[in-house]
Structure 1
Amino acid sequence: MWHADETRWMVFAEMEGKIGPRWYLWVFCTPDTVVFRIEPNRSSQVVTDHFGDQATGILSVDRYSAYKVLLKSILILLAYCWAHVRRDFLAVAKDRVEHEPWALDWVKKIGQLYDLNKNRLSLLDTPEFETAQQNLQHAVDDMAISRDQQLTDSKIHHACRKVLESLERHWSGLILFVKHPHVPMDNNHAERQLRNSVVGRKNYYGSGALWSATLTAMLFSLFQTLNLWNINQRMWLSQYLLACAQNGGNPPDNAKSFLPWNMTADRLQELQITKSIDSS
C-alpha cells in the first residue's frame, strides 16, 4: 500500500531544456518509509520511474492524470481520494448558491460513507463485521444509483453534471476501499507528509541550486521516515554523524544498520521518543 502526492518547489538553477524555476517535489509513502523526489516536471515518467515494472499493490492518490499511467498495468490499482470528491461538491455549494442544497446533500452522503467505514473498521475480526460490510456496500450502491439517475436529467446544471461525471469516471477507484478494508478513503496521509515542505516553501521559497534541492528531498525523506518510526531525530543524527567522524569523515561501513527496519528492538527503543514533545 502506497500514498503519493506532489507540490511545486522552486529551484533557482539553470537546466538545459528547462524553462523557469518551477520544479516539483513528489512524495511516495509506505507504512514504513517516506520518499521525496525533486523533479523538473509533473509528468507520468516520474511515477513510472519510481515504481518500475515489478511493483504490485494499491496506490492511494488524487485524480491527477500522471498516476493513471499505472492503470495500463494490472499490477497496481489506484484508490482515489474521497476528500477531493467532497471538495468538488463544496466548490459547487460555494460558487453556485442556487445549487447549494444539492451539493450539501452529496457532502452529507459522503460523510455517511466515512461514518459507515469507520464503524466497519472498528468491527474487524468480530462477528458484526459482515453486517457492517453489507451496510457500507448498500450505501455505496445507493450513491451510484443517485448519481446515474441525476446524470440522466437533461436539465441538470453543467457544474453539477461535471462533478457527477468525474464521480462516475473514477468510481472503480473510489470504491476500492470497500473490497479492501486496509485502504483508506482518502489520500490525507500523503498530504500531511507534504505539509512541512509546503510551509518551508512559503518561508524560504525553495532552493537556490539543484544540489541544494536534491539534498532537501533527501533530508525530507530521512526526517519524515524517522517520524514514522517515532525516532528522536537529534539522537539519530548524533549517532550517525559520530559514526561518520569515527570513519574519517566518510559514511560508516555499517550505514544500513542505521535504517529503522534494520535496528534491533533494543536500539529502536533507545532511540524512540517516549514523551510527547511540547511544540507550543
Structure 2
Amino acid sequence: MKTGYFWPVYGDRDEIAFPFAPTRGHRVVVDLLEGYANTLVTDGYGAYEKYAERTNGLVHGQCWAHARRKFVEAEGSEPELCGRVLDRITMLYEHEATIGDWEDAKRQAYRGEHAKPVVDAIFEELKRAFEDRILLPRSPFTQAANYALEREAALRVFLDHPRVPVDTNAVERQIRPVAVGRKNWLFCCVPQAHWGWNQDGSIRLWKAVEKMTVGPSKSVVRNRLQTTPSGWH
C-alpha cells in the first residue's frame, strides 16, 4: 500500500479540483500552478512559499485559521499569552463576519480601520513576548509565535487585497469528507479500479453537484454513480 496526497485547489468562483500526487514535493506545486501569477492563498506549507518566491507578480496570502490552531495547541503552556492572541484573532473573525459581501472599496476601508489595528496588536504582542521573556525554543508557544512571525507579510496580505479571504476554510471544508473517509478509500486513484475513474474525478463531480442551484438532484447523480459500469471512463 502506498501513500498519496490530494492537493485541493479552490477557485474564486467556488470551483474546486482535487489533483492527486504520490508526493508532497515542491515539484507538484510547480506542475499544478505553473504560469499562474495572480493571487494564491495557502496554509503554511513551505512548497507554496518557494513557488511564491520564484513567481513574479504572485500575491501570496496565508491562512489565519492555521496560525490560530498553533496557539490553541500551545494554550496549555502559556495560557495568558495565548489567550490574548486568540482573543484578538476572534476579533479579527468578527470583523470579517461584518464585511459579508460588501464591495471591494468598502471592504478594504473597513479592514484598514478595524482589522489592521487588531493584526498590528497581535504581532506587537508576539514580538514583545520574545523581548520580555525567556522562551524555550521548543516551547509550544515559541513554535506558534515563530510560525506567525515568519509569515507576517503573508498573513497581512488580506488587508491590502479586499477579495483575499483571511483563511483557507472554504477548501478545508471541501476536503473534510476525504480526510474523514481516508481509511475507506481502498481503491483511491488506482488505475483500472472498479470505479473505472479516479477519486479526483468523483469528488470533483460531487462537489460541483453540491454547488448547483439548477440541474439534476443529488439523488439522481448518486444513483448514476452507483450504477456506472466499472469499465466506464
- Give 2:21's aligned residue: 39
**In 2 relative to 1, CA 128–204 (structure 1 residues): closer, same or farther, beyond 3 Å?**
closer
The alignment status of 1:70 with 2:44, answered yes or no, reads: no
- Give 2:69's aligned residue: 87
Distance in 2 of aligned mates of 1:211 and 1:201:
19
Which structure features the higher share of strand residues?
A: 1
- Give 1:189's aligned residue: 170
Q: Is the 8 A contact 2:6 2:19 kept in 1?
A: yes
Q: Is the 8 A contact 1:136 1:178 kept in 2?
A: yes
For structure 1, the residue ranges without an aligned partner over 5 or more in a row are 1-11, 13-20, 241-248, 252-280
Percent of residue pairs bearing the same amino acid type: 21
Distance in 1 of aligned mates of 2:149 and 2:202:
40
Q: Deviations over 1:136-184 (max 9, x none)?
A: 2222222222222222235234322322222111011111111122221
Q: TM-score, length-normalised on structure 2?
A: 0.80
The answer to which of 107-116 and 30-39 deviates more is: 30-39
Matches within 5 A, 1:18-167: 21-30=2-11, 31-53=13-35, 55-71=36-52, 72-94=54-76, 96=77, 99-121=78-100, 124=103, 130=109, 133-158=112-137, 159=139, 160-167=141-148
Instruction: Figure out how many residues of one structure are paired with residues of the other and give that number.
Output: 221
Q: Is the 8 A contact 1:121 1:181 kept in 2?
A: no
SS in 2 for 1:22: coil
SS in 1 for 2:162: coil
Q: Is the 8 A contact 2:29 2:48 kept in 1?
A: yes
- Give 1:225's aligned residue: 208
Structure 1 position 124, deviation (Å): 4.3
CA RMSD, aligned part only? 3.1
Distance in 2 of aligned mates of 1:40 and 1:187:
23
SS in 1 for 2:88: helix
What letter matches 1:138 in structure 2? P
Q: Is the 8 A contact 1:70 1:76 kept in 2?
A: no
Matches within 5 A, 1:179-258: 179-205=160-186, 207=188, 209-212=190-193, 215-230=198-213, 231=215, 232-235=217-220
Distance in 1 of aligned mates of 2:168 and 2:188:
27
Distance in 2 of aligned mates of 1:88 and 1:75:
30
1:178 to 132, 141, 159: 159
Q: TM-score, length-normalised on structure 1?
A: 0.68
Distance in 2 of aligned mates of 1:70 and 1:191:
21
**In 2 relative to 1, CA 56–223 (structure 1 residues): closer, same or farther, beyond 3 Å?**
same
What letter matches 1:38 in structure 2? F
SS in 1 for 2:17: strand
Q: Is the 8 A contact 2:15 2:208 kept in 1?
A: yes
Distance in 2 of aligned mates of 1:70 and 1:194:
22
| Structure of larger gyration radius | 1
